[in-house]
Amino acid sequence: MNKTKTTRYDVAEHLRTPEEIAAYLEASFEEAKGDASLIAKALGDIARAKGMTQVALDAGLSRESLYKALSGERTPSFDTILKVLHALGIELHATPLHT
């Protein structure tokens, strides 16, 4: 019997266009349901897709602190999130909840 070879899936390899990035982040917001660490992890995926070193430079953070902040294991400060979003070229918009 032949063994099936698998490779680890890396979403960052599939985030090539601004539209793909926006759709991924939007889906992450919907899925997170208030879990800020999930949003941080999604931003980490996007930062890896864009190049972590350049994103860190653009955000005014060290590469190491950016990795830690966006690991999904901790909740980064809102200030850090805003810096990363700006470095990634992403804007936040507010929409009222539909009840």
Beta-carbon contacts of residue 21 (< 8 Å; ≥ 6 apart): 15, 46, 49, 88, 90
Task: Give a yes or no: residue 8 inside a domain.
Answer: no
95 within some domain: no
* 60 in a structural domain: yes
Cα–Cα dist 85/82, whole Å: 5
Phi-psi region for residue 34, left (φ > 0), alpha (ψ -120 to 50) or beta?
A: left
Quick: pLDDT tens for 12-43: 999 999 999 999 999 999 999 888 899 999 99
What's the distance, CA 10 to chain centroid? 12
Whether 9 is covered by a domain: the verdict is: no
* Residue-wise pLDDT tens digits, 54-91: 999 999 999 999 999 999 888 899 999 999 999 999 99
> Two tokens at 64?
């190491």
- How many domains are there within the chain? 1
Domain of 80 in residue numbering reads as 15-88
